[in-house]
Chain A
């Protein structure tokens, strides 16, 4: 045989490591026969930053609640970081929630706790020692420019400052996923941009970020993939560009 056929076969389509961190398959959610979300199917890769847009009542907050397991889906499967939430055991739920950081539109800070205590709450719950908590909290407060307000109470802070405290609390435990529900809903445009800058910084550390917002101007300016909801259903938009940025419709 003049030329020995090499038996080596090049691998044309090598298996990719599983990059999916969020996967919804046929997910619906209803309250008292009223369907808020219907037939959602998409997946999001690790390290992505995705916006969820839609009119008021479209189901943005509900979608975030399903992903954060604040509520359970009525049907379908929600798989977060390899965990199928329809099969998760009750004892495993707290550990799951520690992988998720949540930023709320109404901040949900504890009024009788200082800024430091509010931010340190996830670390206290996780069982870290005091000196470990102190170093991490100071670092995160420094990142959101609130180190000088560590001893203040939320009632003495402005809306923007309270939201920054909420963000610091959401990221202090290094979550795999950061969910933000209308984080700039109560803020002016300048502050909104500042808040978005923080989210971009956390995204750059590898955190998967999902932001629900009805501010179309800001969403367009940010140029990230968008999940657009209309009366509880997904409107599939530009897929090509989104797939490159970690969002796939199923």
Chain B
């Protein structure tokens, strides 16, 4: 076959030497083409990205809240103590012997002895009823040993066993610990984690479906172009590539939207949440969680990509000539 006038034979772009450069060009073209297509329809693109971003923002915000609840729960458990009220007949020597014994228990983190006088003084300070204390003929408060256990008090079985063991000690009248509210907090934390996973799964699926549907619409709009491209030798990968990049662009932009929404929300909630935390003697910095929630961006990219792949796959095969 003679060459056409004025046109020298071109090197084969799919030769072993040139294939890397060829695929780089394919990807660069697909990336820029898909971005251009999205920017040509700013309203439609913006609405899709907003829908995906807001959908993602909820599980991200819930993640921040759940992490904070877990942190509180752990902090409170670590500082919660049990009080052993000693018998009136227990002498100070016996109490201190008991204290030494308890300090050797592996289940206990620490133990401290509070004498009757110290207990009365604490009572005076916490209640402020000095006049009532002064008119008492004698100190009604028993000596106490306060212990901080190592185990998680919210583990009902373990904490009950420890209380019984302490109660059975000679010289101990009452072993006291109010676990109920702590167990409620721990249950709430567990429930929140499960809810987070469930919502993350559902909303993530929703985001992928939004991406898939948008891609299908884009394919339909470019149907003629796709059919002609396939007739002149485009592979499925070539046709698919720009749409996968479209999914990636959707994911990236919606991830950023979600991250911004979450951080703005946390900024708004920081003050009242901080006040609530202080009531539990806890510190709170919601905003630091917000910065770490940037992981939503790569997750959103992945969801966009998966959604695009799902939307493109079978539909492209449907458009193939044979």
Contacts and interface: CB of A to CB of B under 8 A. Distances in A.
Interface of A: 47, 68-72, 91, 93-98, 102, 108, 110-111, 113, 121-122, 124-129, 132, 135-136, 139-140, 142-143, 169, 171, 173-174, 176, 204-207
Contact of A71 (B25, B232, B322): B322
Interface stretch (B2-10, B75-83, B186-194, B252-260): B2-10
B321 A70 contact: yes
Contact of B238 (A72, A125, A176): A125
A69 B321 contact: yes
B7 A206 contact: no
Contacts, number: 88
Contacts of A71: 321-322
Interface residues of B, number: 29
A127 B7 contact: no
Dominant SS among interface residues on chain B: loop
B233 A126 contact: yes
A111 B4 CA distance: 28
B282 to A, nearest CB: 60
A140 B6 CA distance: 9
Contacts of A96: 233
Given A110-B224, A127-B14, A205-B3, 7 more contacts: A68-B231, A71-B321, A94-B234, A126-B233, A171-B4, A173-B233, A207-B1
B322 A69 contact: yes
Nearest to B6: A139
B172 to A, nearest CB: 81
17 contacts: A68-B231, A69-B321, A70-B231, A94-B235, A97-B233, A110-B228, A111-B224, A121-B229, A121-B232, A127-B14, A127-B18, A143-B5, A173-B233, A174-B4, A204-B2, A205-B1, A206-B1
A127 B231 CA distance: 16
A26 B29 CA distance: 44
Interface string B225-248: 100111111110010000000000
Contact of B13 (A113, A126, A174, A207): A126
